[in-house]
C-alpha cells in the first residue's frame, strides 16, 4: 500500500478511507469513520491539525524541521531537538485545544515516538541491538508521509495486585506468543487507545516496570491500524447518542468531539515484522519506557486542558453577559478563579518544558518532576474549573429542553419566550452555551483529565522518586544546626 | 375527579394514569409516564416512598401523625411539629437515597407546604386574610388522599439584573393576568420543576423578594398538575438516551433515575380558584416565602446527597475489591475521605434540624444559618466526592464499551476476557459498577447539587444576613481590650 | 488537706495556692501560678468557667444536676445523662470560647471522666473488679468540691514504629513499676498536659491499644496535681515572652492565653493508692478507653474552635471597618467564608451530639464517626479560617511596631499618625485588632487544632473502622443490579 | 562618603557600619545592626548573597554581566537583558532560600530597579524628561560599588476607600512638600520596608494608580538609608524575643531570620537632590510603576517560598525518620503533597519568566498574568504546606519545653530521656527540627507569603485585566456555533 504525502485535511480524510479498520460501536461494524456521525467529530479534530500546518499564523508551532531529513514536518511527528521544541509543543497544544475544545488525539503518538527514540538508543548502547535504526526508519516514513501514529500503552491488567506473569489469564498483559523468522506474533489487548479511529499507525509499548519473569511482555513495536488480527471496540462516552441525533445544539461541540474517542484494542495473534519491532525481552528497559512516555505525556495536560478551559471560561463569561450578570462581583471573581487555575495548569506545562534536558540520544525530554506535578494539578484543577463553570452557568445547565423541543413548532415558541436572557440576545445563543458548558464539564470529558497519562497515584510515585528528599534533609539539618557525626 | 386514598406503590402508579398531563419530551407528546422509559424511573423513585410507608423497619421515619387529623400520614405531607420531626425528615431522606441513589422528588413539595403553612399564618396575622385556613384545607386533602404535591418556585428571570416589573417581557416572572369572581388567571413559566411528572399537585410560589411595583407577581397557589393551560417540557439529562436503550447495564441505575426529572412548566392563562390561592399581592411576604422554603430545602441536601454518596462509596469500595486494590493505602485513604465528606454533609443536615425553632404558626423551622451552610457544603463536597470516585474507579470509567458490545456474540467474549478484574468476579459485575459510578458523578447529577435549592451565591447572601457580625465584633473588642466611648 | 466547695473564681484562685506544684518554665521553678505572668492568663481562663456557673444567663449551660447526688454541679464534672447533655456540652464550649478566645482547659478532664465512667463499668462487668465504684467515689468528691480535674493521655512514645514493651527505654510509655499493699508505683511521662497548672487533679489513662505483653502499661488512675514524684515542665508557646512584657496590646489576648498551657509531666515513681486506681492490667480495655475519650474529646473541637473563630471573624470584620473596606465585595465574601467554615465546624459538634447514644453504664456517648469527622474538619478549616483572617487583616499583621514603640514619646506620635485607618478610630484600636488576630492565628494556637485530641491520621483510622463499608457495598450492588451467588 | 567596591560578606558587613541609621526597636535606639541580636540574622542573610557571588558553583546564578559597563556584577543589581536572565533570577532565589530558609531581602530592590529602568525610559519618551539617564547613573554606582538597594512602595493608606488627596491627613501617602533649586522635600511614610536595616540605599516609588489630583504623590527617587529626616521603626515578628535569648535551638533558624526584617519608615521632610529624582508629577505613570514592580516581584514568590519549602520538607522528612514513621504511607503521602505544592509554586516562577518579553527600554519583563498567578498560588499553597508540616511534625511542635529547660541540669535529663524518638538519634536533634518547623510555619513567616508583593485581591485585579475574556468569548462562540450578526 503506497501512500503519498498528505498535504492537508482533505488528503488526510481521503487517506483514512484506504484503511480497513475492524471497528465496532454499539455492537455494529463501522465502515467509514470519516462519515459516520460517531467518528466524524474525532476525525475533524485530527483534520484540524493538518489545517494548522498550512496556517500562516501558526505554522511555526504546527511544523518543525526534521532532524532526520531537514524537511518541514508536522510537529506531531517530530523528535524534540531543543528546549524550544518542548515549549513549542505545549503552545501548539493549547492553541489547538482553544480551537477545537477537544482532544486532538495525536500527542500520545508524538510522546510514544519520542520515548521510543531515546529508549531504543539506550537499549542499543547496552545490548548492541539495532532497535534505534529500525525506529528511525519507521519514523522517517511517518514524517515523510505525514501520517498519524498513535500510542498504545495501557494493558487491561486484570488483578492489579499481581504482575503480568502471575495473572490467571496470561493475555491480560499484551505479550509475544510466537516468534517467526520474519517477526513476532503478539496477543493481548490495550485499553484506552486514543485516536486510533483517526490514525494510520499504532506504536505499542509496555505499561509498567517488568522483571525477568515478565520478559515476554517487554515488547515495543509499530503496526498499521488495520493489521490483520486487530479488533477495536469503541468506548461509550457521555451523551454519545447526541452525536447520532439531528441538529447541532445539543451536541455542545458539534464539529468536534470532547475526548479522544478511546477504543479497546484486541490483538489476536497479530504479526509484526522485525523491522517494526523496537524492543523485545529487554525487560529492564520497560520502566524507562513508561517513565519517558509518561513524563512526555504529562507535560501536555496543562496546555491541552488549559486550551479547553479557555473555551469554557469564554462560554461562562459570555453566558454571564447573556444572563445580565457579567458585572456581578461574585461572577467576576469566579471567572478570575477559573483563569487563575487555567494559568496555573499552563504554567506547569511551560515550566517542565523550560526545565527539560537532552537525553543521550539527542532527543530532548521534559523535566520529570515538574511534568508529573503538572498532570497532578490537572486531576484537581480541571474539576474545580468545571465546578465553577456549573456555578456560573446556573440550573438550566441541568434542565434545558432538547433541541427537538426547540425546533417543535409550538414548544419552540415557549422556549424562545421563556428562556430568553437579556432582551437583545437570541435564546438559541444561550442554549448553545449551556450545551457547550455541559459538554466540556460532564462525565467522560473530565475523567480524561483524571486518568489520561495515568491515574494520580502514578504521578505521586514518580514525584516521590524525583523529590530528592535526602538533599532536602541535608538543607534542613544545615539550617537547624544538626551535625551528624 | 374523585381519588381514593393511595395505600401503596401500586395505588400510586394507578392514580397517575388518571392525570392528563400535557407533557413533551424530545418534541413528542408523552402519554403515559408510568410506562414510558424516560419517565418510569422517576415514577419508580416516588413509588419507593410509598413502599417505605408500609415497611415495618422504617415506618416511623416514613410516616408521621397529622396535626390536622391525628391520622398517620406520609411524612412528605407533614407539617413539622417538633425538633424531632426535623431530624426524622433528614434521616428519612438519607435512607431513601441510599435505596434509590436518586432524587425522590417529594422534598420540595414538603418544604413548600411547610413554608406556605407558616407564611400564610403570618400574612393572615398582618392583613386579616384567610390564606392559612385555605391552605390547611388543601393540605388536609393532600394528607388524606396521600397525594404527591411538588413545589414550583424558579421563574425564568430573563435579564437577571432587573426586577420582575422591569423585564422586557412581563411574563418572565409568573404573574396574575386576570381576576375573576371565582379566582385568578396566571401566566408565565416556572423552571426546574422537580417531580412534576410523578406528581398530583403543584404548589406555586414566588422566587425572590418583591417590592410594591411587583405585587402582581406576589402570588402563591396550588393546582392539579393537569390544570388546563399547562404545558410541561422535559429537560434533557446527561445520557438520557440510555434510558431508551435495551439492557440495564449502561443505565447505571436502571430502576431509578438520577435527578428529579425536571421540567419547564408553561402557564398559559391558567385559572386558579380562590380556595387554592394562598397569597396574592402581599409582596412584602414574598421574601419570607423564599427564605422559609429555601432554608427548609437546603436542610435536606446533606442528607439526600449523603445517601447517594453512600451508594457511591460502596460502588468504589466494591470496584476496588474487584480490581484487586482494596487494601492499597491510597485507595483506603480516598475511601475514608469520601466517608469524611459525606458525614460532614450529613452533619450539616442534622445540626440545622437540631437547632431548629418553632414559628408562630406552630410549624417547626430549621436553623437558617446552618441550613444554608449545609447546602453550601453540598455545592463543593459532592463534586469532590465525585472526583475521588473517578480517581478510584480508573480510566475504564470513560472508555468502557457499550452493553450492546458486551451482548454481541463475538465482541462479548473479548470484553469478558479482557475487562476482567480479580479472577473470581464476573466481568459484568465490574461493568455495572463503572456504569453506576458514571451515572452518579456525571453531568446533570452533580449540577443538581450545585443549583438545587438555589445557587451558591444565594446561600452566601443568607449566611451574611444571619451571621450577626455585630455580635462577633463585640466579642472581639472585648478580648482585644477596645473600649468604644 | 481539706478543701471547701469552691463557689466562684475567687475561691478557685485561692484553692490553687494550696497546691505545691513542682513546675518549671524556662529553667526556673514557678512558685505561684495565680500571679505569675506566664500562668495567670491560663488560670483566668479556668476562672471564667467558675464565673459562668454563677451567670444567670448561662447557668443552664454551665451547670448540670449530678446523677450521683442530685446536686447542681459544674457541667465540666458531669457524666452526660442524655442527648441534651451532649448538646449542652458543646454549646457551653462555644460560648466560653467566644468569651475567652482561649482554650478553657477543662474539657479533657470532663471527657476523661466520662470515658472512665463507662469503661470502668464495662471492665467490672467482664472481670468482676470494682473500678466503677472507686471511680464514682472519686468523681463525687470532685463534683462536691467543685474541683478541676484534667486528663493525661499522651505517652512520649519514643520510636513510633514499636509498641510499649519493645521500646529501647521501657519508661517511654507510662507504666507500673511496683505494687504495694496500699497501691501502685508508676513511672514514665505524659506529654501535652492541658491545664495542669490550673488544676487540682489529674486523671491518667493509656494512649493506645495494648496487647498482653503491654499489660503493665494498661493503667488508669487519678492523683492530685502535686503528688510527690511529679515534675512539670511548661511547653514553649508562640510569643510566650510577650506575656512577660509590660503592656497589654502586644499580647493580643491579654487577659487570657491562647492554648491550654501544655506541660510535659514526669512521673518519677509516683505512688497511687488503690482507691484511685481505675484500671490495672486489663489491657484489652485500653483501646476502649482511647476510643471513648477520643470521641468525647473530638466532639468538642467544632464548638471550642468555633467559638474562637467567632472572635476572629469579629476582629476581621471590625478591622475591615477601621480600614475603610468593610463594604468591599471581596472582604464581605471572605467574612462569609469564615462564617461558613465556622458553622460547618460547629455543625459537626452538634450533629455528633445529637446522634449520641447511651452506653451500658448509663453515660451518654457522642456518635463516634461524626465526632471524628468533626475533629478532622478542625484540622483543616481552622487553618483556612486563619488564612482568610490574614488576607483580610493586611500586611501590618506582620510588620506592626511594638507596644513599646507606641508608648515611646517620639515614635508613638509617628505610629499614631501613620498607622491610622479611618479618621475617627484611634490607631490603638487597629493595633489591638492586629495583635488579637496575630495571637489567634499564629503558631501554637493553630497546632492545637491539628493535634489536640489526636493527629488527623488517628481520626481517619476511626472513620474507616466506623464507616461500615460492607453495608455501603451492599447498597451499591443493589442499585447496580449485581447479584452475588 | 566614598565606598569601595564590596568584595565579600566581610566587606559588606564593614560597609554597613558606616551608616548612621536612625533605627528603633522596642522603643530603643539601635546602634549597630551588624552585631545586635535582633538584626544580625537579617544582615547574615544578605551577607549570604555576597558569599554566593564568590561561590564557584553558583557564580553564574549570582552574578551577571552589566549591560552598562560590561563588568561582572551582582545579579541583584542587574537589569534583565534576556529571558534567560529572568529564569536565572528565580533559580538564584530558590537556591538562596534553600540555604538560608529566610527572606534574603534584596529582590524588592532588584525589582524596583528594573521597574524604574523601563518606566523612566517610557516617561522620557512621552515627556522628554531625563529620568532614565539619571537612573542609569544611580544604577551604575550601585553596580560598581556592589551596594544593596531596597525598594519602598507601600504607603500607609489610611482610609482605604479614599485616594491620596482625599485622606484626612495628606501625609498618609508619601508626597512632595517642597521644591528647591537643588531638589525636592518629601514627607510621609512607607510601610513594610524589607531589608532596610541591611541596606545602603532605598528606591522609593508610588503604591497605586494616580489621577491628576494626586500628582504631588507621583514621585520616585533614591536615597541613602541614613538620609537626614528618616526614622525607622522595626516591626515585631513572631517569637522575636527568642533572638534575644541565649542558645540557638529555640530560634529555629539561629543564623538567619525568617522574614525580611520589615520596618516602618518615616520621611520627615527628607531632601532628595534632582539627580536622584526619577519621577515627579507624571501621575499617569504611577500605575505602570506599580504594575511593573508588582509583576517583577510576584515572579519571585514561587521560587523564594519554594526554597524555604524545600527546607521545610527536609525538616519534616527528617523528623519523620527520627520519629520512626518515615515509611508510614500517610506520612509519605503528605511529603509528596508538600513536594507537589512546592513544585507547583516553582513552576509558576519558571513559567512567567520563560514567557517574559522585552520592554521598549531593552529591559526584560516577566509575563504579567503568569506572575500574578504565581503569587496568588503562594497565598494559598504556602499555608497548605505549613499545615501539612504541622500534621507530620506532631503535637510536640506546640508543647516542646524551652532550650533553657533542656540546658537545666535536672530537667535536661528528663527531656533527654522522654523526648527521644528512635534510639540512635540525640533528643536535641529532634528538638532542633521542631523549632525549625515552628519558625518556618508560624505567624509572620506565612503572612509574608500572603501580603508580600501585595495582597491576594490585587493579583486578582491584575489577572482579570490580563485575562483577555473577549478573546475567550470569541473562542467559545466559535465552538458553540454562535454567529453574531
Cβ distance A314 to D475 less than 8 Å, yes or no, reads yes
Q: Which residues contact A421 (CB under 8 A, 6 or more apart)?
A: A322, A323, A324, A427, A430, B158, B159, B160
- The answer, yes or no, to whether residue A484 has pLDDT greater than 90, is no
- The answer, yes or no, to whether residue D3 has pLDDT greater than 50, is no
Mean pLDDT, chain D, rounded, equals: 96
Distance (Å, whole) CA B107 – CA B153: 13
Whether C201 is a known active-site residue: answer: no
Which of B161, B172, B329, B395 to mutate to probe the A interface, most A CBs <10 Å?
B395
Q: Give the pLDDT mean for A269-275.
A: 98
CA-based nearest distance B334→chain A, Å: 11
Q: For the whole model, what pTM was predicted?
A: 0.98
Distance (Å, whole) CA B406 – CA B385: 29
Whether C42 is a known active-site residue: answer: no
Chain B residue with the nearest C-alpha to that of D328: B329
Q: Read off the pLDDT of residues C141-195 as tens digits, 9 standing for 90 and up.
A: 999 999 999 999 999 999 999 999 999 999 999 999 999 999 999 999 999 999 9
Cβ distance B475 to C347 less than 8 Å, yes or no, reads no
What are φ and ψ of residue C142, in 5° steps?
A: -60, -45
**Which member of A315, A344, A469 has the closest CB to residue D348?**
A344
Cβ distance B464 to C314 less than 8 Å, yes or no, reads no
DSSP code for B381:
H
- Chains near B with 3+ CB pairs less than 8 A apart are A, C, D
User: Is B332 an interface residue toward A (CB < 8 Å)?
Assistant: no
User: Is A25 an interface residue toward B (CB < 8 Å)?
Assistant: yes
**Which member of A26, A159, A402 has the closest CB to residue B402?**
A26
Among D222, D230, D224, D225, CA closest to D277: D222
- Chains near D with 3+ CB pairs less than 8 A apart are A, B, C
Q: Which three cell numbers stand for residue D295?
A: 509583576
Please report the residues numbered 55 through 84 in chain B whose beta carbons come closer than 8 angstroms to any beta carbon of chain C: none
pLDDT of res. B236: 96
Which residue is catalytic, options B107, B263, B316, B352? B107
CB D65 within 8 A of CB D22: no
- The answer, yes or no, to whether residue B144 has pLDDT greater than 80, is yes
pLDDT above 70 coverage of chain D, percent: 99
**Which member of B318, B347, B480 has the closest CB to residue C476?**
B318
Q: How confident is the model at residue B209 (pLDDT cuts 50, 70, 90)?
A: very high
- The answer, yes or no, to whether residue D98 has pLDDT greater than 90, is yes
CB D321 within 8 A of CB D243: no
pLDDT of res. A23: 98
Q: Which residues contact A187 (CB under 8 A, 6 or more apart)?
A: A171, A174, A175, A177, A267, A268, A269, A270
Q: Which residues contact A331 (CB under 8 A, 6 or more apart)?
A: A320, A325, A392
Q: Read off the pLDDT of residues D152-184 as tens digits, 9 standing for 90 and up.
A: 999 999 999 999 999 999 999 999 999 999 999
Q: Which residues contact A198 (CB under 8 A, 6 or more apart)?
A: A16, A33, A39, A42, A43, A45, A46, A105, A148, A261
Distance (Å, whole) CA D207 – CA D192: 12
CB C42 within 8 A of CB C260: yes
Q: Read off the pLDDT of residues A55-66 as tens digits, 9 standing for 90 and up.
A: 888 989 999 999
**Which member of C311, C351, C473 has the closest CB to residue B318?**
C473
User: Is A333 an interface residue toward C (CB < 8 Å)?
Assistant: yes
CB D55 within 8 A of CB D64: no
Q: How many CB atoms lie within 10 A of CB D113?
A: 26
Cβ distance D158 to C238 less than 8 Å, yes or no, reads no
Which of A330, A331, A337 to mutate to probe the C interface, most C CBs <10 Å?
A330
Chain B residue with the nearest C-alpha to that of A242: B241
Distance (Å, whole) CA A243 – CA A237: 10
Whether B448 is a known active-site residue: answer: yes
How many alpha carbons lie under 13 Å from residue C177 in its C-beta half-sphere? Answer: 15
pLDDT of res. C423: 96
User: Is C259 an interface residue toward D (CB < 8 Å)?
Assistant: yes
Q: Read off the pLDDT of residues D315-329 as tens digits, 9 standing for 90 and up.
A: 999 999 999 999 999
Among D365, D354, D373, D302, CA closest to D114: D365
CB C443 within 8 A of CB D442: yes
pLDDT of res. A2: 32
User: Is A330 an interface residue toward C (CB < 8 Å)?
Assistant: yes
SS3 of residue D269 by DSSP: strand
CA-based nearest distance D329→chain B, Å: 7
Cβ distance C398 to D324 less than 8 Å, yes or no, reads no
User: Is B235 an interface residue toward A (CB < 8 Å)?
Assistant: yes
Please give the positions of A annotated as active site. 103, 107, 194, 262, 297, 301, 304, 448
pLDDT of res. C485: 63
- The answer, yes or no, to whether residue D7 has pLDDT greater than 90, is no
- The answer, yes or no, to whether residue B419 has pLDDT greater than 50, is yes
Chain D residue with the nearest C-alpha to that of A100: D479
Please report the residues numbered 397 through 456 in chain D whose beta carbons come closer than 8 angstroms to any beta carbon of chain B: none
* Unique residue bearing C-alpha cell 475567550: D472
Q: How confident is the model at residue A485 (pLDDT cuts 50, 70, 90)?
A: low
DSSP code for B375:
H
User: Is D347 an interface residue toward A (CB < 8 Å)?
Assistant: yes
Among B67, B152, B144, CA closest to B111: B152
Q: Read off the pLDDT of residues A23-40 as tens digits, 9 standing for 90 and up.
A: 999 999 999 999 999 999
* Unique residue bearing C-alpha cell 550601585: D142
Chain B residue with the nearest C-alpha to that of A443: B442
Q: How confident is the model at residue D442 (pLDDT cuts 50, 70, 90)?
A: confident
- The answer, yes or no, to whether residue A3 has pLDDT greater than 60, is no
Please give the positions of D annotated as active site. 103, 107, 194, 262, 297, 301, 304, 448
Cβ distance C192 to D399 less than 8 Å, yes or no, reads yes
Cβ distance A473 to D314 less than 8 Å, yes or no, reads yes
Q: How many CB atoms lie within 10 A of CB D483?
A: 8
Q: Read off the pLDDT of residues D237-258 as tens digits, 9 standing for 90 and up.
A: 999 999 999 999 999 999 999 8
**Which member of B159, B418, B448 has the closest CB to residue A422?**
B159
User: Is D330 an interface residue toward B (CB < 8 Å)?
Assistant: yes
Among D442, D25, D245, D253, CA closest to C241: D245
Q: Read off the pLDDT of residues C258-287 as tens digits, 9 standing for 90 and up.
A: 899 999 999 999 999 999 999 999 999 999
Q: How confident is the model at residue A1 (pLDDT cuts 50, 70, 90)?
A: very low
Q: Which residues of D touch A335 (CB under 8 A)?
A: 464, 467, 469
Whether C448 is a known active-site residue: answer: yes
Q: Which residues of D touch B330 (CB under 8 A)?
A: 329, 333
Q: Give the pLDDT mean for D45-55.
A: 94
CA-based nearest distance B344→chain D, Å: 20
User: Is A30 an interface residue toward B (CB < 8 Å)?
Assistant: no
User: Is B133 an interface residue toward D (CB < 8 Å)?
Assistant: no
Amino acid at each position: 500500500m503506497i501512500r503519498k504525502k498528505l498535504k492537508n485535511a482533505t488528503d488526510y480524510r481521503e487517506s483514512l478511507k484506504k484503511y480497513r479498520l475492524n471497528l465496532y460501536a454499539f455492537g455494529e461494524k463501522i465502515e467509514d469513520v470519516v462519515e459516520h456521525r460517531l467518528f466524524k467529530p474525532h476525525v475533524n479534530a485530527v483534520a484540524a491539525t493538518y489545517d494548522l500546518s498550512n496556517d500562516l499564523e501558526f505554522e511555526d508551532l504546527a511544523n518543525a524541521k526534521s532532524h532526520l531529513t531537514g524537511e518541514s514536518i508536522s510537529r506531531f511527528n517530530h523528535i524534540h531537538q531543543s528546549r524550544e521544541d518542548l515549549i513549542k509543543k505545549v503552545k501548539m497544544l493549547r492553541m489547538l485545544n482553544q480551537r477545537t475544545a477537544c482532544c486532538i488525539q495525536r500527542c500520545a503518538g508524538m510522546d510514544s515516538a519520542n520515548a521510543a527514540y531515546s529508549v531504543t538508543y539506550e537499549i542499543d548502547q547496552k545490548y548492541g541491538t539495532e532497535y534505534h535504526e529500525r525506529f528511525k526508519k519507521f519514523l522517517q516514513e511517518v514524517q515523510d508521509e505525514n501520517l498519524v501514529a498513535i500510542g498504545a500503552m495501557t494493558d487491561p491488567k486484570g488483578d492489579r495486585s499481581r504482575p503480568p506473569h502471575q495473572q490467571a489469564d496470561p493475555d491480560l498483559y499484551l505479550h509475544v506468543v510466537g516468534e517467526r523468522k520474519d517477526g513476532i506474533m503478539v496477543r493481548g489487548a490495550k485499553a484506552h487507545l486514543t485516536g486510533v479511529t483517526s490514525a494510520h499507525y499504532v506504536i505499542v509499548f509496555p505499561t509498567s516496570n517488568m522483571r525477568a519473569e515478565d520478559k515476554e511482555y517487554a515488547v515495543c513495536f509499530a503496526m498499521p491500524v488495520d493489521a490483520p488480527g486487530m479488533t477495536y471496540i469503541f468506548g461509550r462516552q457521555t451523551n454519545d447518542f447526541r452525536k447520532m441525533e439531528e441538529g447541532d445544539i445539543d451536541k455542545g461541540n458539534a464539529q468536534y468531539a470532547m475526548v479522544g474517542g478511546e477504543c479497546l484494542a484486541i490483538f489476536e495473534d497479530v504479526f509484526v515484522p522485525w523491522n517494526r519491532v523496537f524492543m523485545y525481552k529487554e525487560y529492564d528497559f520497560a520502566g524507562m519506557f513508561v517513565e519517558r512516555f509518561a513524563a512526555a505525556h504529562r507535560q501536555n495536560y496543562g496546555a491541552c486542558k488549559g486550551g479547553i478551559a479557555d473555551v469554557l471560561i469564554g462560554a461562562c463569561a459570555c453566558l454571564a453577559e447573556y444572563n445580565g450578570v457579567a458585572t456581578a462581583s461574585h461572577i467576576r471573581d469566579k471567572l478570575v478563579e477559573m483563569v487563575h487555575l487555567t494559568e496555573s495548569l499552563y504554567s506547569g506545562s511551560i515550566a517542565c518544558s523550560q526545565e527539560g534536558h537532552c537525553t543521550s540520544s539527542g532527543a530532548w525530554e521534559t523535566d520529570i518532576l515538574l511534568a508529573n506535578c503538572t498532570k497532578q494539578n490537572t486531576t484537581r484543577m480541571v474539576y474545580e474549573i468545571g465546578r465553577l463553570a456549573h456555578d456560573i452557568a446556573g440550573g438550566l445547565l441541568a434542565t434545558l429542553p432538547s433541541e427537538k423541543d426547540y425546533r417543535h413548532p409550538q414548544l419552540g415558541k415557549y422556549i424562545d419566550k421563556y428562556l430568553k436572557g437579556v432582551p437583545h440576545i437570541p435564546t438559541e445563543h444561550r442554549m448553545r452555551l449551556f450545551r457547550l458548558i455541559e459538554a466540556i464539564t460532564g462525565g467522560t470529558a473530565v475523567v480524561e483529565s483524571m486518568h489520561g497519562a495515568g491515574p494520580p497515584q502514578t504521578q505521586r510515585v514518580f514525584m516521590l522518586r524525583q523529590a530528592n528528599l535526602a538533599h532536602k534533609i541535608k538543607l534542613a539539618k544545615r539550617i537547624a544546626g544538626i551535625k551528624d557525626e
